[in-house]
Amino acid sequence: MVDFAAIRNEFPILDQEIHGHPLVYLDSAATSQKPQRVIEAESEFYRTINAGVHRGAHELAARSTTAFEDARAKVAKLVGANAEEGEEEIVVTAGATAGLNLLATAFGNASLGRGGEAARRFALKPGDEIVVSKAEHHSVLLPFQELAARTGATFKWLDLTDDGRVRTDNLDEVITERTRIVAVTHVGNVTGAITDIAPIIKRTHEMGGIFVLDACQSVPHLKVDFHALDVDFAAWSAHKMYGPTGVGFLYGKREMLEALPPASFGGSMVELAWMDQPAQYMLPPARFEAGTQPVAQVVAAGVAAEWMMAIGMDRLEEHERMLTDELLKMGDIDGIRIIGPRENVKRIGTVAFDVEGVHPHDVGQFIDAQGIAIRVGHHCAQPVHRHFGLYASNRASCGVYNSIDDIDALLEALAKVRPFFEV
């Protein structure tokens, strides 16, 4: 048995009052809170072993390099990726957005002929197609929309069902032999719906395309195995999985990373640099990690990954599924419409909703006055909102530290919103 009350006590930020009420934090889809051990890991790094990694020969440099690479291995283990030296499949980035932009830039570079013959599989030209879904966060939508504009490729998308799931009934029409890249979210950051990615990946590969997964909302909540899923690339951030801000990870199949040209250039990614000869770049992951990395944060993210595995992703999933059951009861409150799947099937504990007659900013302010933090706005996913005929919504999202009491506090507050605003 996992003691989830003890887990909650590991989060110092939760032990405070907001506006005279105990803090109830239900905005983990925006960013999760951090356990004490993650907070300490970062400062401990600075107190004891801070030094440049992969450079210098002194003892601290050796220790910090080991800590950095150990963290990469822990993160790799969390998502079922390779971590052995020479086989690494995890690239450190500045966040999920940075990882997705890295990919889009690298594909663009391949389209210009960079990376030679090996990189031709990533090259785009007019007539080729890039496919996303209408459920995408702007950090997937925009880098690939821009890539299409730069290369002349056609930009297409998978539509959504009425309850906001990515449609997979017409894959043969949307993903064709002209499709080179398909980028889809694993879990909708608004709807909380888990995408049925298996048939999308299968179809993409049958057509010879590359599949990119946005794993921001899945890795913190679900047991994820990128090898088993057979995704080619996946990007996510550390700060939504109980780790620090400013760091994220890009997974790539080893053969893909080896063929991908770099997107960012500078120190620590080049083997030989000349004034009058082309540079020779390092093997992955170093090839994609130009410049000084956020080492302390990566080390702390490794601690977060290890901590999640110690709890057990199965048990974490089960706990959050129980919270989701409770959260979905909001649909019974008069005037509240859930934006996304209403049933607790193939979804996570991220629930967006509309309160009839009350703008999300007003809902959020009312809820906040009770010490409860939820997200309001378009959650960086405007097309999803338009799909539901909305500009913005409210979103409550769970983390491992939430309890049934947290959800009940929200439900109690939500029942008072429309009466207060007299609608």
Partner 1 sequence: MSDFGMGEDDFEQMYQEVILEASKHPHGKESFAADLAREDAGAKTGEMTVRASHEYCTPGESHQFNPTCGDEATVHVEVSDAEPHTIEHVVWDGHGCSISQASLSIMVDLVEGKSVDDAMDLEQLFHRLMESRGKGLDDENDEDKLEDAIVFQGASKYPMRIKCALLGWEGLKDALAKALAAKNS
Annotated catalytic residue 216 = no
Burial 172-199 (b: 16+ CB within 10 A, else e): eebbeeebbbbbbbbbbbbbbbbbebee
- Any idea which residue has 């919270």 for tokens? 323
Q: Cβ of residue 351: shortest distance to partner 1, in angstroms? A: 19
Q: Among the options 333, 373, 380, 415, which is catalytic?
A: 380
Tokens of 177: 């032999």
Nearer to partner 1, 46 or 391 (CB): 391
Q: What is the dihedral angle through the alpha carbons of 252, 398, 325, 191, rounded to the nearest 10 degrees?
A: -60
Burial 323-357 (b: 16+ CB within 10 A, else e): bbebbbebeebeebbbbbbeebeebbbbbbbbbee
Question: For helices 36-48 and 295-311, what crossing angle results, to 10°?
Answer: 140
CA angle 206, 180, 340 (to 5 degrees): 80
Nearer to partner 1, 227 or 361 (CB): 361
Q: Cβ of residue 379: shortest distance to partner 1, in angstroms? A: 10
Q: Cβ of residue 41: shortest distance to partner 1, in angstroms? A: 27
Largest Cα–Cα distance in the chain? 73
Binding residues vs partner 1 (CB under 8 A): 17-20, 359-362, 365-366, 369, 371, 376-378, 382-383, 385-387, 389-392, 420-423
Answer whether 244's CB lies under 8 Å from 300's CB.
Answer: yes
Q: Cβ of residue 391: shortest distance to partner 1, in angstroms? A: 4
Nearer to partner 1, 20 or 278 (CB): 20
- CB-count burial class (<10 Å; 0-12, 13-18, 19+) for 276: exposed
Nearer to partner 1, 199 or 357 (CB): 357
Distance between CA atoms of 236 and 97, rounded to whole angstroms? 8
Nearer to partner 1, 122 or 353 (CB): 353
Q: Cβ of residue 142: shortest distance to partner 1, in angstroms? A: 13
Q: Which residues are catalytic?
A: 380
